[in-house]
Structure 1
Amino acid sequence: MHLEATETKNGKYRSVPLNQTARAALLSRASWRASHLPDCPLVFVKQNGARIRDARKGFLAACRKAGIDDFRFHDLRHTCAAWLVTAGVPLTEVRDLLGHFSITMTERYAHLAPDRVRSAVAVLDESRSRHAKGNEARAVLVSKCFSSANDTATHRPAWARTRWILAA
């Protein structure tokens, strides 16, 4: 589905991917329109063929029918973001799907996936064991600081004058 720049909040053209459920719903709606109003080019129309200009009335009716109180149309967007983050979708992809200009807007959902951070850190253990090839790797700090004229002349900090050796 494509949105023209005049239809987006930031005035930029966007392409929005649809999952199979959304695609099936649109195709069903298009099928209804084709059988009832074959000359109408629009998918979302009233029974008389008039364009639906605002989905609010239908949305509120659907909420009443489902027994849902205190729910706004925009809450669907928050629900989508929350479900994506909870399922482990990276925040950068969620940002792109929601059309956020910056990752800062998307980061409000990061708290919903604390296990993802733990999983990310666990990758370091897996990587370490792969690189060690069964042997325990240890970092040995050789605290030999260079004391040449270059080091003191450039005022290099101690950590920059220290050699690290990875021994297996």
Structure 2
Amino acid sequence: MGILKRGTTWWIDITAPGGQRVRQSAETTDRKAAKELHDRLKHDLWRQAKLGDKPRYTWEDAALRWLNEQGHKASIRDDAKKIEFLTPFFKRLPLTELTWDRMQAVVEGQKGDKAPATRNRYYQLLRSILRRAMREWNWIDSVPTIRLHREPEGRVRYLTPTEIDTFLRNLPEHLGSLTRFTIATGLRRANVLGLKWSQIDMQRQVMTVAASDIKSRKTLGIPLNATAMEILRAQIGKHDEYVFVYKGKRLNATVNTAWRNALKKSGIENFRFHDTRHTWASLLIQNGVPKGMIKEMGGWKSDSMVERYAHLAPEHLARHAAVIDELLRKDVEPTPLQSVKPVKRT
């Protein structure tokens, strides 16, 4: 049948050599463009049937399959947002034509004012999708080389105990309780804002965070210390379902005018809510808690996330540093030079 018009849009109707019927929108009101797409699809179908060419999968095909297969990822929403941003630029583009130049033009052209790490997340997603298309789906034969920006070392901003005390006193009661609880437990923002009474066992003094709410996708059991228990007891009766509320409703924001005003009054700069988690980990490691324990308590999947705090507690290296100290303390007598007697000639 070729092409036909439905309303103002042209549609393609092709029967492949094997008898398979392909019907799809050309997504255009231009007949010439629709005919060009029709001829291209018909040519590709013939080559696939007669010469064994691989189907020409597009960016949309890959993106949709990626989202379906990676639905279990904690960061799948971030992937979906990035894909939504990229799709208008790569619409109907065959994966074989998704070159490094095309990717760079979009990411740098549209996100050039963002931090290197932000741009790298787009490149890494593109690379992951293309590698999956090559290695597992067998859709393409190769993946272009993708060059990432150099990133500065991970940011670690934390407060000292004195700064914590000052800051908490300058926060309103509802934010102060939530912030203090977060520093006491190391919970992520989403986990503490959505904390429910059903997750807490007051008798055993433990709380549970479901695997679906943790990046590592493993259920996390958190022991509640005396500070955390004190805060929880003060919250009893304020809401039947959620722990932290304001005026009878669940809290859904942390960094607001009250937060910023408290920082200003406390003389604290460059401190985000997520830095409460950095504060928790930093104080633990500075007070001798093993990195393995911090990793388990914080629900981190890899050691690298905890290693960023290692420089805050170099005491474990002191014993090894002392080796050179012992060597330098030894009184080593210099070896005297031997006098050389002249050789008699005969």
Q: TM-score, normalised by structure 1?
A: 0.57
Question: Which has the higher Rg, Structure 1 or Structure 2?
Answer: 2
Q: How does 1:2-151 map to 2 (within 5 A)?
A: 2-30=208-236, 34=237, 37=238, 40-47=240-247, 49-57=248-256, 59-60=259-260, 62-64=262-264, 66-119=266-319
Task: Quote the offset at 1:99 in angstroms.
Answer: 1.3
CA–CA distance in 1 between the matches of 2:267 and 2:301?
35
What residue in structure 2 maps to residue 160 of structure 1?
A: none
Task: Check 1:40–1:16 CA distance in 2 against 1; reply closer, same or farther (3 A cut).
Answer: same
In 2, Cα distance between equivalents of 1:11 and 1:63: 33
Distance 1:75 1:29 in 2: 23
User: How far did residue 88 of structure 1 move?
Assistant: 1.0
Asked if structure 1 preserves the Cα contact closer than 8 Å seen for 2:214 and 2:299, the reply is no
Q: CA RMSD in A?
A: 2.5
Q: Residue 59 of structure 1: CA displacement?
A: 4.2
- After superposition, the Cα gap between the structure-2 partners of 1:62 and 1:78, relative to the gap in structure 1 and judged at 3 Å, is same
Q: Distance in 1 between matches of 2:260 and 2:232?
A: 20
Count of residues in correspondence between the two structures = 115
Give the deviation of 1:62 after TM superposition: 4.3
Paired residues of 1:5 and 1:13 also in contact (CA < 8 A): yes
Tell me how far apart the structure 1 counterparts of residues 214 and 262 of structure 2 sit (CA, whole Å): 25
Which stretch shifts more, 2-11 or 91-100? Answer: 2-11
Aligned-residue sequence identity (percent) comes to 38
The structure showing larger relative contact order (alpha-carbon pairs under 8 Å, at least 6 residues apart) is 2
- Counterpart of 1:56 in structure 2: which amino acid? V
Offset at 1:101? 0.6
Deviations 1:20-65 (A, max 9, x none): 11221121122xxx1xx5x733221221x22222333364454345
Could you list the runs of 5+ residues in structure 2 that have no partner in the other structure? 1-206, 323-346
Structure 2 CA distance for partners of 1:19 and 1:120, relative to 1, 3 Å? farther
Kept in 2: contact 1:95–1:103 (CA 8 A): yes
User: 1:145-164 maps to which residues of 2 (within 5 A)?
Assistant: none
In the superposition, relative to structure 1, how do residues 86 and 54 fare at CA in structure 2: closer, same or farther (>3 Å)? same
1:56–1:73 Cα contact (<8 Å) kept: yes
After TM superposition, give the deviation of residue 79 of structure 1 in Å. 1.4
- Does the 8 Å contact 1:45/1:51 carry over to 2? yes
CA distance in 1, matches of 2:279, 2:266: 17
